[in-house]
Amino acid sequence: MSRLDELNKILRKLQSDSPGLEASALISEDGLMIASALTPDLEETRVAGMTATLLNLGARAAVELARGEVKEVIIRGDRGYAVMIDAGRGALLLALANETAKLGLIFFDMHEAIRSLKKVL
Amino acid sequence: MSRLDELNKILRKLQSDSPGLEASALISEDGLMIASALTPDLEETRVAGMTATLLNLGARAAVELARGEVKEVIIRGDRGYAVMIDAGRGALLLALANETAKLGLIFFDMHEAIRSLKKVL
């Protein structure tokens, strides 16, 4: 199995394990897609760019607001959550969940996925 | 008691009720401070501007990532949380908490504060 296959397998496992988790992606800090399991309504390039922009602004905000080095950015909308977590090695993991998902469980499963992703990256 | 006194009182109560909550502010959507209870290391104008910028980008990201209308933006750094919640009437509530704070309790207390703030605004 190629590295990309392994990364995709970890993302698909994350989605099947977490109720309400609709899409996930591994994105480089500079806004390029590494691996993804997105729904057809989402456009890869825009998702990757927007996610990296948000994490970069989050990093500046964390410093400005004296919260140290950014680890996670979470957006909650009325149709669910977007959760971005620093995955190390210049990569970040994005997960999109619907409004029925439990934020605590999403974190738990994402951190487990990150441990698996780090072994492959 | 003036309206500003009442707003400040609600912010101070939020901080005394929530363990680990270090600072809070009520900010207009366009990045102007309405009322605040900040620590001396934080500069009002920059905090208000950064918070509004982040919520605006969060709003665009929520749409782009199919999460609907933005309600909350959360940044976790290695030194704690910055939580921004839409408070209605073009205002948003910012709370800064240290790393010992419990995110669930912060949400709970912030939503209670927002109910009180709405009565004054």
Give pLDDT tens digits for A30-68: 999 999 999 999 999 999 999 999 999 999 999 999 999
Cα radius of gyration rounded to whole Å, chain B: 14
pTM of the full structure? 0.92
pLDDT at B1 over 90: no
Mean pLDDT of A107-117: 96
Q: Are A73 and B74 a contacting pair at CB < 8 A?
A: yes
C-alpha to C-alpha distance for B113 and B14, rounded to whole angstroms: 6
C-alpha to C-alpha distance for B33 and B44, rounded to whole angstroms: 7
pLDDT score at A1:
82
Q: Are B77 and A71 a contacting pair at CB < 8 A?
A: yes
Least Cα separation, residue A93 to chain B (angstroms): 14
pLDDT score at B66:
94
Least CB–CB distance from B77: residue in A50, A70, A82: A70
Least Cα separation, residue B4 to chain A (angstroms): 23
CB A30 within 8 A of CB A92: no
B111 touches chain A (CB under 8 A): no
pLDDT score at A76:
95
Chain A positions in Cβ-Cβ contact with residue B67 (cut-off 8 Å): 75-82, 96
Q: Read off the amino acid at residue A112.
A: E
The pLDDT > 90 percentage for chain B reads 93
Least Cα separation, residue B121 to chain A (angstroms): 23
DSSP letters of chain B?
Answer: --HHHHHHHHHHHHHHHSTTEEEEEEEETTS-EEEEE--TTS-HHHHHHHHHHHHHHHHHHHHHTT--SEEEEEEEETTEEEEEEEEETTEEEEEEE-TTS-HHHHHHHHHHHHHHHHHH-
Mean pLDDT of chain B: 94
Interface of B with A in 57-86 (CB under 8 A): 57-58, 60-62, 64-82
How many inter-chain contacts (A to B, CB under 8 Å) are there? Answer: 121
Give pLDDT tens digits for B52-106: 999 999 999 999 999 999 999 999 999 999 999 999 989 999 999 999 999 999 9
